[in-house]
Structure 1
Amino acid sequence: MIVCRTIQELKASLSELRTDRKSLGFVPTMGYLHEGHASLLRRAEEENDVTVLSIFVNPLQFGPNEDLDRYPRDEERDLAIAAECGTDIVFLPSVKEMYPKRPLTTVLVSGITSRLCGASRPGHFDGVGTVVSKLFHLVIPTRAYFGMKDAQQVAVIEQMVHDLNFEVEIVRCETVREPDGLALSSRNVYLSAEQREQAVRLSQSLQMAGDWLYAPGMTAGQLKRNIVSHITESELAEIDYAEFLTYPSLEPIDEQTSTATLEEQTIVALAVKFGTTRLIDNRLFDI
């Protein structure tokens, strides 16, 4: 496995490994890898000739009061996991390497970034679009792999790829969960034992939403109220948002709409804080 810390090293290594007939799978991450990331790497390794992992905690996607400085990092462990998954190249740039000067160019995807995490974290998706665009230009992947735990991020990147004619296939990968249903996240390490116990209400509410969706007389508004009610039974939960939207357009659904009449893919998307730790989760429904 080759570890590159500069853009020059990355380009040189890719030049040696890539041929016209070789496919390249790319997994962009912010590190502190867990089984969710490992599942992306294994799939990329299975479906491509060359697999590239990037590890970069991107400051552009963190707001002034967010957890950039305390975001968990463990380079040695990350490299060990990458090697176990058969990764060929790991790109580990510094902030100075990626942004030698303050960037004056950003990639902004409008519309679908105005809700959910885009509303809660202004500027977040500008940072995501900018760094992913830059990484795509550097790596030039055949396929790029993203977990659906952050379904809005996937929708944003798919829109960017479509609008800017990137020649890369975006591969959606299912959310990997703990045995009790909690979605794997690098931020789970912040949870206290009591917070961790109560955080399972997110996945529970998503499972229950599948039953509520098809209940006689169910409306979009009642579905949301049921979800909020279940989550707030946890005294430690502070809901940022609980939304029922179309996907991937992320358009609101009128609260009076009967769920039985919906004819397009929808998503229940959640963001809930436990103490200072903000967790996200979601579930897609094909009506």
Structure 2
Amino acid sequence: MKASASNLVFSCDYCLLRAFYHYPQARAKTEKVSLGVHCSCIDWANIHCHFGLFYLLRNHKKYRVIQQASQSENKADSDNPQDYEDVSAAYNWTEEDFENLKPKKDTLCSIIKRHGKPKYVVLESSGLKGEYSQGDEKEYIDLTFVKNKEGQYVYDGGTATYPPDGVTVVDNYSSDWTKEQLNRLRTKDQEIFGPATPLSEVVREHPQADSAQRRISVHSSGAMHKTVDLDYTVQNSSIKKAKFLRLSFEYNEEKKDYYLSYNSASRYSW
């Protein structure tokens, strides 16, 4: 870039900024300026008019603001968890908000600007971990951050947890799973015996559970994985492994449903 005004000649923005730093004050009289520095980009001998000085000072302000903004953006982030957490923070997330986060691109500061501070933040050897949660703790989001080469914390993946639709969690509830129902359950790797059991079928027959969680997990690569975990207590079951039953399901994008991937009471392990 080459900028000029009257007899003032600059061939780069850097030298325009240098000129101001080495010029002690604006002169009241027209006089030739000797700045005591030498740069081939500036014809120092020809800085001798009021307009040239005005041009120099005016542009200094503009480039100074740009420089300060650049330095602010590149400033290394603090490693103190308390700088980022707020235990009274409101929960301001949708499921879409979480899915739209971009690993390695979204910074901790940019996420805080959009959604406020996490309720809890901890510093680990690998980086920072922050948790956003509602008051009932049934819906919460855990985010992981690592530092990039500029010293800024960037999003590196996370997990969002929600209550699954159609399932009611009841404390100390004893389910009524029968041996026949357990025999019908098939995981994805047992499809040689028939189709994998969909979540919708299980929820229809057993809508109450000890615990139920739906999770969306995002890897640092950006890969997304959706699962549902259901826990049942079957006190009267004749199958010992079914007394505390864990069923896990994985989401199938094509079929738009979750399918059984793990059965703690699988008949093949009785």
Same-fold call, TM > 0.5? Answer: no
TM-score norm. by structure 2 comes to 0.25
Higher strand share: 2
Greater Rg over alpha carbons, structure? 2
TM-score norm. by structure 1 comes to 0.24
Higher relative contact order (CA 8 A, sep 6+): 1
